[in-house]
Structure 1
Amino acid sequence: MASRDYIPFDKEDIPQQFEFDLADDTFILRINYNQTDDSFSLDLYDQDMEPIVLGEKLILNVPLWEDIVNEKLPAPSLIPMDESNTETRVTYVNFMQTVFLYIDDVSDDAEGEDDGDE
């Protein structure tokens, strides 16, 4: 099975902001933590620090910005996921332990591949 890349964060340093190259574009990501409801959100800026989307909540297995139409959004998608399927939501305890912000750059064909033992 093909593996996805993820975006590493040090949750001890949140709020954290950094440049990130995705596809052929450079973006600035800022990750925030809301202690009140134990959740994370992401702000997305273009390389000139113009906001594209602010305050997008990380919801387990839901692609970020899936309900937003904006040509400035990056492709491929970013998805908070737990590949072991043990978690039910993104929390401070599980983020960057079992839940990671994955880059959905694995093709559907690659996901379905096996190791040849049929």
Structure 2
Amino acid sequence: MSQRYKYDSLPLDNLPIMFDTDFGNYNCSIQLNYNEWGDFFTADLYDANGDPVILGEKLVYGKALWSDYVDQRLPAVDLVPLDESGRTTVCNRETFGKTVFLCIDTVVE
């Protein structure tokens, strides 16, 4: 049986933005910031108490956030900047929130 991926994206209306979210039993806040000099976005992760877990993680197209870290306070899901339309492979001010979205990577049987 082959697997395919289905992506659900997080809502991003006005950037930069901070929002509360939950992934199953894991509650957290994520703040997305824009770096004007480098034309990229970063993500800050806060636990349910508002304490910082990881700050300043650069959003890289196709790479799961916080994948370089091992920490039990991280969500058990992969959040990945992706463009499901296939128009771009770049995550910057021109694309993020328009065609590139922060997707929740889930495997569908």
TM-score where L is the length of structure 2: 0.88
Gaps of 5+ in 2: none
Number of positions where the alignment pairs a residue of Structure 1 with one of Structure 2: 106
Could you tell me how far apart the structure 2 residues matched to 1:88 and 1:80 are? 9
RMSD: 1.5
Offset of residue 82 of structure 1: 1.4
Structure 2 CA distance, aligned partners of 1:2 and 1:56?
Answer: 24
Unaligned 5+ segments in structure 1 are 111-118
* Structure-1 residue corresponding to 2:9: 6
Greater share of residues in strand = 2
Return the structure number with greater helix share: 1
Write out aligned runs for 1:1-118 (5 A).
3-11=6-14, 14-107=15-108, 110=109
Task: Describe the shift of the 1:106–1:75 C-alpha distance in structure 2 as closer, same or farther (beyond 3 A).
Answer: same
Work out whether residues 28 and 44 of structure 1, in 8 Å CA contact, stay in contact via their aligned partners in 2: yes
Q: Secondary structure of the equivalent of 1:73?
A: coil
How many percent of aligned residue pairs carry the same amino acid? 40
Q: Which has the larger radius of gyration?
A: 1
Residue type of the partner of 1:60?
Y
Take 1:86 and 1:45, find their aligned partners in 2: how far apart are those partners?
Answer: 32
TM-score normalised by structure 1 residue count: 0.82
